Amino acid sequence: MDTNQPRWQRRKDARPAEIIEAALTLFVDKGFAATRLDDVATQAGVTKGTVYLYFANKEELFKAVVRETILPNIESGEHLLADHQGTWAELLWILLERWADRMEYSASTGISKLMIAEASNFPDLARFYVEEVVMRSRKLFATVIQRGIDAGEFRPVDPVMATRAVISPLMLIKVWKQSFSLCDTEPVDLKAFARFHYELMMQGLASR
């Protein structure tokens, strides 16, 4: 940060990030329908007018939250794919492990459960989420699996189905953590489970 900038200007630059952070917290806690832009403004310490300066409406703010908190993770996975040198099984594990790590601490984990809960009431947001998050994540994993098949490392399975099989358990745990974690008496060690599932999958996928 350029500390020669006047303080008001630095504050102004920081505002969209602060609004997005406040919105993420409120969306995850209260749901999309129940979150008011007034509450977002209060939580971010700005006026409602300031929120509208950056975001046309609640839908656009939600899209910005998704773009700022989830898409960078997918992009980072895409970069890993582009630069990868080792086996495809190794890359699959790196992607799953990073995902499990993020789930431990990131508030953006709550977005999946939020979308599942509210998708049927907000079809425009559901479409945005499916296109920009779901399809793009699936494509990342399906590409890794397809390359593994092309390299003779994996059996020639349907990469779309294999992608679903590989990513579903972590995705479900992510949703579960937001819903039932308080009353589930069999909590799961996320990283250990991710490894367990990965190893089962690898035995199913490995060419012999």
Whose Cβ is closer to its own copies: residue 2's or residue 186's? 186
Q: In whole angstroms, what is the distance from residue 113 CA to residue 7 CA?
A: 38
183 phi/psi in degrees, rounded to 5: -115, 5
Q: What share of the chain is helix, strand, coil (3-state, %, to 5)?
A: 80, 0, 20
Whose Cβ is closer to its own copies: residue 16's or residue 174's? 174
180 is a site residue for its own copies (CB under 8 A): yes
90 is a site residue for its own copies (CB under 8 A): no
Q: 151: burial class by Cβ within 10 Å (0-12, 13-18, 19+)?
A: exposed
Q: Which of 64, 81, 94, 117 binds its own copies (CB under 8 A)?
A: 117
177 is a site residue for its own copies (CB under 8 A): no
100 phi/psi in degrees, rounded to 5: -60, -40
74 is a site residue for its own copies (CB under 8 A): no
Q: Which residue's entry shows tokens 């431990």? A: 104
**Smallest distance from its own copies to CB 171, Å:** 6
Query: Any residues with CB less than 8 A from the CB of 189 and at least 6 apart, and which?
Result: none
Q: Which of 3, 4, 85, 185 binds its own copies (CB under 8 A)?
A: 185
Q: Which positions touch its own copies (CB under 8 A)?
A: 113, 115-120, 123, 126-127, 129-131, 134-135, 138, 157-158, 160-162, 164-165, 168-169, 171-173, 175-176, 178-180, 182-186, 188, 192-193, 196-197, 199-205
